[in-house]
């Protein structure tokens, strides 16, 4: 372990800059110190076997064969103190409240536009602003119920929000599975470290979804709508359905009758009250959105508008997690809640703005450019890692559609030790806590998914781009 | 339960049962071949049961041992190869993952990981074919063990059982007809003891036969056991009786006309099996009877799938 050299000029999650172990890692450090490399390799191999045997996989779209992959898991947990966590928790709750208010406002009165806090043009040019949702009243539900907020830690040790995921954030099953693996490979250590539990997630989610049912019924019918077994997150869909005890449905299992949704069961049709949808909005209803969609259910939008079924998350949330809207979230917090943002944003340049675009182009080697509606690490340009030709090609795309791009200065994600090629090496990490925003309260299970950029020097943590994950332990040191 | 999920559970069980049947058939025949000479074994009978090729192609590949093994075990083109059958089972299990226990999913996933790993090729390359079959049978047995001890006795279990016994009954009657065809359905024929022993071993019934029959191996006793013995879990009667039980449990409250028609047909087949005596039948009558069983069974299975598992 102790030939580990933290990267210079970076915040290391395990060691202080003077080389001492951070207090929260002391017990883990002593535990690891007593292990041989063979012991560690054995633990690594055990964890791999658990993932393989349980079929805990994700799918990469670009692969032609063997589309299922095991999500790489690094066995060294990442530890965050409870006091740091409570700040994160407070900051995320504040953010979610404001974003939910924003969605309610933007699809109704649009006060925030009238007061010129956000330019109207930015909203109306957003492809995920769903005009059909304007004036639609949500019956007994929130716009945002499930969210994943991506955080990074900069050199100053502070957590910043990298992006909000308010449509269908994935990864929660890995958070829970990672903990199950940790319990097996660190059973001795976990007896002495009090790690806050994450396994109540599915129970909390079920209760919140059940509360959305508008029909008076002792046991509402809740289903999870998946695009099918070839979707990259199918494992997660089946995991959540299993742990909530609900049906995992595909569009062909559902039909609409008299503005209500029914599923085809072996005992006939059964009315559905709540749908946790993992299908993108644009594919949801071919009568309203994309006509060529085979993943949708004709007429479901109408059933939703009538209040006969709750859709989670609500349709149209994409306007709030658009990367061009992201710079305005601190303003939203002030506007809707009259509070100072607890978690900071990363400085972001909207490339539609000519002066900001010029500034970005001049300093492009210090910038990361992203598509405003991109995800999964696709369509990004890391200015410091790209060739002149790649930069020129990217600039052309930006000039053609400036609204669709944003830029941020390259932030140094914090690093932490990972077991790679039989030795400890620093790798960059982020953190995605998972939020459940219910009618009465906001729940965030203590932890989240720590994603790791497994390639040396890389800042891209997405699973589709060679990223892996770690278990995240929130521990109370007092 | 969703109709689509019921369909997946049913097919998952059918494919695993098919894999079980193919593996045992191969193991027995391969082991039998070692008693004589591998080159002389007639693979056409096994190929016709396990490979979806026209008869002339079967004749062409049966002379080449490597091709035979490849076609039955690892071929991606042969839809009945073990690789494909187990992959289909896993795809169905994956679709119905929230309706089966984690242990069942893991045992099917382990089976798939084995069949798609390099270990398979290593066994083949080292010519340790019997070891390979033993390993596969062990993994399939773990699946059946997990099914029995972890699965609640609910509708999901009944659909799995339905699939299992539909497949088993089809495998049993096909294997039976194939084997008896070799003696032209002549119940008075005296054949080599090993001929019957291999048939019984293929349906896991050799020990049962020894314990339950005082007679030496003969054409009529073997036929009686495989077709009619209600205590033998691979007999046609046992499978049909279980299908009838699961059908009634699952569908007693469904559409009356569909239910009555199909229940009548399954009951009729069961009665035919229950009240048939074969001792004095001529070869032609026995052949017709066996073909009728197969035909009636096929019709029942197709009607069941169409009426109860069609979700589109």
DSSP secondary structure string for all residues of B64-79? -HHHHHIIIII-SSST
Residues of B in contact with A267 (CB under 8 A): 253-254
Q: What's the confidence (pLDDT) of residue B66?
A: 67
pTM of the shown model: 0.85
pLDDT value for A132: 94
**CB atoms inside a 10 Å sphere around CB B111:** 25
Closest-approach residue (CA) in chain A for B252: A267
Residues 6+ apart with CB under 8 A from B179: B45, B195, B199
Contacts of B106 in chain A (CB under 8 A): 53-55
CA distance A441 to chain B (A): 28
β-partners of residue A416 are A427
Of A234, A242, A264, the CB nearest to B3: A264
Answer yes or no: are the C-beta atoms of B239 and B172 closer than 8 Å: yes
pLDDT of residue A60: 64
Beta bridge partners of A262: A255, A271
Which DSSP state fits A211? Answer: H
Going along B18-121, which residue ranges are E strands?
A: none
Residue A270 belongs to what H/E stretch? strand A268-271
C-alpha to C-alpha distance for A197 and A178, rounded to whole angstroms? 12
Polymer length in residues for chain B: 312
- What pLDDT does residue B118 have? 84
Q: Which residue among A52, A234, A265 places its CB closest to the CB of B2? A: A265
Cβ within 8 Å of B, A 49-68: 52-55
Return d(Cα A128, Cα A317) in angstroms, integer: 7
> What kind and span of H or E run contains B86?
helix B82-95
- Is B98 within 8 Å of A241 when comparing Cβ atoms? yes
Per-residue pLDDT, B128 = 83
Give pLDDT, residue A267.
Answer: 86
CA geometry: angle at A297 spanning A295 and A302, to 5°? Answer: 140
ipTM confidence: 0.74
Whether residue A264 and residue B311 make contact (CB cut-off 8 A), yes or no, is: yes
Sign of CA dihedral A111, A114, A118, A122: positive
Helix (H, G, I), strand (E, B) or coil at A36: coil
CB contact under 8 A, A266 and B155: yes
Residue holding tokens 């658990």?
Answer: A50
The per-residue pLDDT for B38 is: 47
Three-class SS state of B111: helix
Q: State which residues of chain A have pLDDT below 50.
A: 63-64, 66
CB A224 within 8 A of CB A278: yes
Q: What is the pLDDT, as a whole number, of residue B64?
A: 65
- Give the closest residue to A85 by CA, choosing from A451, A445, A452: A445
Q: Which residue of B has its CA nearest to A54?
A: B106
Task: Phi first, then psi: give them for residue A57, nearest 5 degrees.
Answer: -135, 165
Number of Cβ within 10 Å of residue A218's Cβ equals: 4
* pLDDT tens per residue across all 312 residues of chain B: 999 999 999 999 999 999 999 899 888 888 877 776 544 556 666 776 666 666 666 666 666 666 777 788 888 888 888 999 999 999 999 999 889 999 999 999 999 999 988 888 888 888 788 899 999 999 999 999 999 999 999 999 999 999 999 999 999 999 999 889 888 998 888 767 788 888 899 899 998 988 887 667 788 899 999 999 999 999 999 999 999 999 998 887 777 777 888 999 999 999 999 999 988 888 999 999 999 999 999 999 999 999 889 877
CA B27 – CA A262 distance, rounded (Å) = 48
Predicted pLDDT at A2: 62
Residues of chain B neighbouring A241 (CB-CB closer than 8 A): 98
As given in the structure block, the two tokens for residue B199 are: 């048939």
Q: Do B155 and A263 touch (CB under 8 A)?
A: no
Assess A247–B contact: CB distance below 8 Å, yes or no: yes
Residues 107-146, chain B, touching A (beta carbon < 8 A) = 109-110, 113
* Residue A241 in contact with partner chain B when CB distance is under 8 A: yes
B212, B218, B247, B259: which is closest to B231 by C-alpha?
A: B212
In angstroms, the separation between the Cα of residue B231 and the nearest Cα of chain A is 31
Residues of A in contact with B2 (CB under 8 A): 247, 249, 253, 263-266
């Amino acid at each position: 372990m102790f030939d580990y050299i933290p990267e210079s000029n970076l915040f290391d999650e395990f060691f202080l800059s003077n080389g001492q172990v951070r207090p929260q890692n002391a017990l883990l450090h002593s535990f690891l110190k007593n292990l041989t490399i063979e012991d560690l390799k054995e633990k690594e191999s055990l964890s791999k076997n658990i993932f393989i045997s349980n079929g805990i996989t994700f799918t990469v779209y670009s692969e032609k064969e063997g589309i299922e992959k095991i999500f790489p898991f690094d066995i060294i947990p990442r530890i965050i103190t409870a006091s740091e966590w409570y700040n994160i928790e407070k900051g995320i709750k504040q953010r979610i409240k404001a974003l939910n208010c924003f969605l309610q406002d933007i699809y109704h009165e649009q006060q925030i536009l009238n007061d010129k806090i956000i330019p109207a043009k930015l909203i109306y040019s957003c492809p995920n602003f769903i005009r059909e949702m304007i004036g639609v009243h949500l019956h007994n539900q929130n716009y945002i119920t499930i969210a994943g907020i991506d955080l990074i830690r900069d050199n100053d040790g502070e957590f910043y929000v990298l992006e909000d995921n308010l449509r269908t954030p994935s990864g929660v099953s890995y958070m829970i599975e990672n903990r199950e693996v940790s319990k097996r490979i660190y059973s001795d250590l976990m007896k002495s470290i009090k790690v806050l539990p994450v396994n109540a997630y599915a129970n909390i989610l079920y209760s919140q979804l059940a509360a959305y049912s508008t029909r008076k019924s002792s046991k509402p019918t809740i289903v999870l709508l998946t695009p099918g077994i070839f979707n990259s997150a199918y494992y997660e869909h089946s995991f959540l359905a299993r742990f909530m005890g609900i049906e995992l449905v595909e569009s062909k299992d559902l039909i609409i009758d008299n503005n209500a949704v029914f599923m085809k069961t072996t005992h006939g049709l059964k009315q559905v009250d709540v749908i946790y949808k993992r299908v993108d909005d644009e594919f949801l209803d071919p009568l309203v959105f994309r006509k060529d969609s085979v993943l949708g259910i004709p007429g479901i939008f109408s059933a939703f508008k009538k209040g006969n079924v709750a859709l989670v998350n609500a349709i149209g949330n994409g306007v709030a997690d658009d990367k061009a809207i992201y710079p305005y979230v601190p303003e939203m917090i002030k506007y809707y809640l009259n509070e100072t943002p607890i978690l900071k944003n990363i400085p972001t340049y909207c490339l539609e703005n000519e002066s900001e675009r010029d500034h970005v182009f001049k300093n492009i080697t210090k910038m990361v450019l992203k598509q405003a509606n991109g995800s999964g690490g696709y369509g990004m340009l890391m200015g410091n890692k790209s060739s002149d030709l790649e930069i020129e090609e990217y600039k052309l795309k930006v000039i053609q559609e400036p609204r669709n791009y944003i830029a941020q200065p390259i932030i140094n994600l914090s690093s932490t030790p990972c077991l790679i090629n039989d030795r400890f090496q620093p790798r960059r990490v982020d953190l995605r806590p998972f939020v459940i925003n219910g009618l009465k309260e906001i729940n965030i299970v203590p932890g989240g998914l720590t994603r790791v950029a497994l390639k040396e020097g890389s800042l891209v943590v997405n699973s589709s781009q060679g990223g892996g994950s770690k278990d995240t332990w929130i521990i109370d040191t007092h | 339960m969703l109709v689509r999920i019921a369909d997946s559970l049913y097919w998952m069980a059918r494919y695993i049962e098919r894999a079980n049947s193919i593996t045992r058939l191969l193991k027995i025949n391969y082991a039998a071949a070692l008693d004589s000479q591998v080159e002389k074994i007639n693979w056409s009978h096994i190929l016709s049961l396990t490979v979806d090729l026209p008869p002339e192609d079967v004749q062409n590949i049966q002379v080449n041992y490597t091709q035979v093994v490849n076609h039955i075990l690892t071929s991606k083109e042969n839809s009945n190869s073990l690789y494909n059958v187990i992959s289909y089972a896993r795809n169905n299990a994956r679709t119905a993952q929230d309706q089966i226990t984690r242990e069942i999913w893991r045992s099917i996933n382990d089976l798939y990981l084995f069949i798609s790993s390099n270990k398979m090729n290593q066994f083949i390359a080292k010519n340790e074919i019997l070891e390979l079959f033993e390993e596969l049978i062990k993994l399939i047995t773990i699946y059946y063990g997990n099914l029995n001890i972890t699965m609640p006795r609910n509708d999901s279990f009944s659909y799995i059982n339905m699939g299992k016994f539909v497949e088993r009954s089809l495998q049993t009657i096909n294997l039976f007809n194939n084997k008896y065809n070799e003696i032209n359905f002549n119940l008075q024929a005296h054949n080599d003891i090993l001929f019957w022993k291999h048939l019984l071993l293929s349906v896991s019934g050799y020990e049962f036969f020894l314990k339950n029959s005082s007679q030496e191996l003969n054409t009529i006793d073997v036929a009686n056991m495989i077709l009619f013995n209600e205590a033998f879990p691979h007999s046609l009667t046992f499978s049909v009786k279980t299908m009838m039980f699961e059908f009634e449990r699952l569908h007693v409250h469904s559409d009356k006309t569909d239910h009555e028609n199909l229940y009548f047909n399954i009951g009729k087949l069961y009665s035919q099996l229950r009240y048939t005596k074969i001792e004095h039948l001529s070869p032609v009558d026995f052949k017709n009877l066996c073909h009728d069983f197969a035909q009636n069974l096929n019709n029942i299975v197709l009607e069941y799938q169409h009426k109860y598992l069609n979700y589109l």
